[in-house]
Structures are given as structure tokens and as C-alpha cells.
Amino acid sequence: MNELVEAIPFLGKRYPKATKWLIIILAAVAPLIAAYFGRSWMRILDFALLYMMLALGLNLVVGFAGLLDLGYIAFYAVGAYTWAFLASPHFGIHMPFWIVLPLGAAFAALAGIMLGFPVLRLRGDYLAIVTLGFGEIVRIFMNNLNHPINITNGPQGINALDSLNLFGWNLSQSIKIGDFQIHYLYLYYYFFLLCVIGSIIFIKRLQISRVGRAWAAMRDDELAAKAIGINTRNMKLLAFALGATFGGVAGGLFGSFQGFVSPESFSLMESIAVLTMVVFGGMGNIAGAVVGALALTALPEILRNIALPVQQAVFGTVILDPEVLRMLLLSLAMILMMLLRPAGLVPAHARYSRPELLKGGA
């Protein structure tokens, strides 16, 4: 939170308290503002929150532990498909969220460990290539496991997933109080917001814990980390598993929110998009992941809303597809970032231990 405040130019330095409240209020009323521009914007906000969870999870792996993971979206897929298997008419199983969501997280964590073991000795480019392959393997499995036994329903995906039902309260149904109606997109927004805040608190505690410090040491210098007694093998596996857990939970929520999963939601480009968010926001930094996710979910949509009418007006037809523009924008963002703010929008502080522990002053 304070990191986020500090990162806001001018305002954050002068009026940190006011800025903090401004952020809180903005987070609370964001869907109301979005609603003013239309339903699609509320949906985008909901997705931004899901991406935040993904970015936070990937940040654990890439930012904290320094393990470049290009197949992160696979864990998202595992979470989403767990939801699809256990809470949809596909198999006719309809389990409640408090079973499916933890199960999805557990499966994702297991997948994380499965990926972690073979890549323990790899670093840098080699690690990136293997994780990339892993991501593709998962997607291709989802794509092809409809034959000879239909498990994933192949490229058609699975339809009519159960929506999130919090102990009898269905989040996908709008609440009606007399004439007044609260649209379900609000409900999802606030639920996702709670999830994101919970994740942030958890990760924040993790960062200053023994585990967080071990990751930081490992990222700086693996041999030195071993030399001071860190079990680097377990710490790497833990990073993969915990990062994957966040992906799994986000995936489950995605499935319930979207009501539909198919392999094409989990392509390599998605992995890269999440990684871009982490790098764009500032690697190794919680506020960075949040800002990066928000910026890179919203900007392409804004661009789409501007680019389409502009192209229509200028050329009379749409020349550049918005999806192409999105990739263009992501790459442009990365290049600008490298030139202007190589440490990301919100540069990470190199602080891993609790300042109050330091007696020599900081």
C-alpha cells in the first residue's frame, strides 16, 4: 500500500495519507465509475482483478524467487478446468465452491511441484524454455483429451459452468431490493476485490518471512544462499507451488465468472501477458504487480474503444484488429519501460527483512 502511494508522482510524496484514502475510495467505487461507461467496462474491471491475482502469483515465482516462468497460465488452466470438471453439467457434478476452489488450488500446486522437480537445476533461458513447453503441454492436453474418452471436451471447451455460490448466495444473480437493482458484475467485483486484498496481505507476510528472505537470497546469489543454509531445492519447489496456487484459485474464479472454459483462453500469449504485467509494474513488488495488471488490462481496452472508431472514421474500415493492437501495445509498453523505467512502474525496494529488526538503523 505504502509502496503504491509512494509510486504515484507528486501526490504520493506530498500527501501520502490523502493518496492512500484516494486509492481505497477509488477501489471501492471503481465499478460505479465503470458502469457509467457501460457493462463491458465492469466486466473488464472484474478481469483486471483476476489478472491481478495472476500477476501476484507469478510475481512470487519470477519476482521473489527469480525463476523465470513462461508457462504460468497452465496453473490458471488447471484451476479453471478443475472448476469445469467438478461444477458443471459436463460430468454432472456440482460441488460447492469451498470444495472446488481449494481442490483447484491444490491441483495447481501439485502441477507446480511437478514442473518444479525437473527444472530444479535449470536457470534463466533454459528454465524459461522448459516452463514455456510445460504451459503448451497443458494447453494441448486440454485441447486433445476428448478422445478416446471425452474428458475436456476438446477445443469446444466446457459450457454452463456453475457460478459462484457463496453458501446459498449466488453471485451471478443480481440482487433486487424493490426497484433498486445491484447488478451481478458488482457482486463479482467486490468478491474478487476481497480475494485480491487477501492475496496481497498473505504475500506481504510471506515476503518478510523466512521464506521470503530465502527467496530473495536465492535470487541474488544461489551459491551464497546455499552457503548460509537455505535449502534451495525446497525453496524453489515452494515458490512454484505457491505461485501456482494463486493461479489455480484465479482460474477457478475465472471459470465461475465466465461460465465457460476452452483451451484457447490459456495460450502462450496469456502467459506472456501476465509476465508483462509483472515486469511492467515492477518485478519483485506487490504494488507493481497490481498496477501492472490494472494498466495492461485496461489500456488495450481503452485503445480498442478508441482505435476502432478512429479507423472507421479515417479509413472507412477496420484495418488493424484490436487483438493485434493489444500485442503491439504490450510490446510497445515493454520497450518504453526498458528505456524509461527499467525497474518497472513501481520499482521494488530491496528490503526483505523487517526494518524493526535492524538495530544499526536503516
Partner 1 sequence: MHTNPASPLLQLDGVKIAYGGIQAVKGISLELYKGEMVCLIGANGAGKTTTLNAISGTLGLAGGSIMYDGDDIGTLPTHKRLRKGIALVPEGRGIFTRLTVEENLRMGAYIRNDAAAIDADLERVYTMLPRVKERLAQVAGTLSGGEQQMVAIGRALLSRPKLLLLDEPSMGLAPLVVEKIFEVVQTVKNEGVTILLVEQNANLALEFAQRGYVMESGQLTITGSGRELLADPKVRAAYLGE
Q: Which residues bind partner 1 (CB under 8 A)?
A: 210, 213-214, 216-217, 220-221, 223-224, 226-231, 233, 350, 352-353, 357-362
Closest distance to partner 1 from the beta carbon of 164 (Å): 40
Identity of the residue numbered 135: G
User: Which is closer to partner 1, CB of 9 or CB of 361?
Assistant: 361
* Minimum gap (Å) between residue 208 Cβ and partner 1: 12
Residue 228 or 314: the one with the smaller Cβ distance to partner 1 is 228
- Asked if 251 and 79 touch (Cβ cutoff 8 Å), the reply is yes
Contact 108, 115 (CB under 8 A): no
Q: Smaller CB distance to partner 1: residue 14 or 121?
A: 121
Q: Does residue 252 contact residue 85 with C-beta atoms inside 8 Å?
A: no
Question: Which residues contact residue 243 at a Cβ distance below 8 angstroms, ignoring those fewer than 6 apart?
Answer: 57, 58, 60, 61, 69, 72, 75, 112
Residue 357 CB, nearest distance to partner 1 (Å)? 7
Beta carbon nearer to partner 1, 35 or 208 = 208
In the complex with partner 1, the residue whose CB is nearer, 123 or 233, is 233
Shortest CA distance to 51 belongs to which of 223, 235, 265, 222? 265
CB of 110 to partner 1, least distance (A): 24
Residue 150 vs residues 19, 29, 99, 142, 256: alpha-carbon distances, Å: 53, 44, 23, 11, 21
Q: Which is nearer to partner 1, 240 or 352 (CB)?
A: 352
Asked if residues 10 and 352 have their Cβ atoms less than 8 Å apart, the reply is no
* Cβ proximity of 143 and 155 under 8 Å: yes
Q: How many C-beta atoms lie closer than 10 Å to residue 215's C-beta?
A: 30
**E-assigned strands of 84-152?**
87-88, 93-94
> Rounded to whole angstroms, how far apart are CA atoms 248 and 232?
24
- The least CB distance from residue 351 to partner 1, in Å, is 8
**Residue with Cβ nearer partner 1 (27 or 122):** 122
Cβ-contact 210, 35 below 8 angstroms: no
| Euclidean distance between CA atoms 185 and 92, whole angstroms | 26
Indicate the residue among 168 and 229 with the shorter CB distance to partner 1.
229
CB of 67 to partner 1, least distance (A): 17
For partner 1, which is the closer residue by CB, 53 or 279? 279
Smallest distance, partner 1 to C-beta of residue 360, A? 3
Nearest approach in angstroms of CB 222 to partner 1 is: 9
CA distance 20 to 295: 18
Give the shortest CB-5-to-partner 1 separation in angstroms.
22
Distance CA 26, CA 37 (A): 16
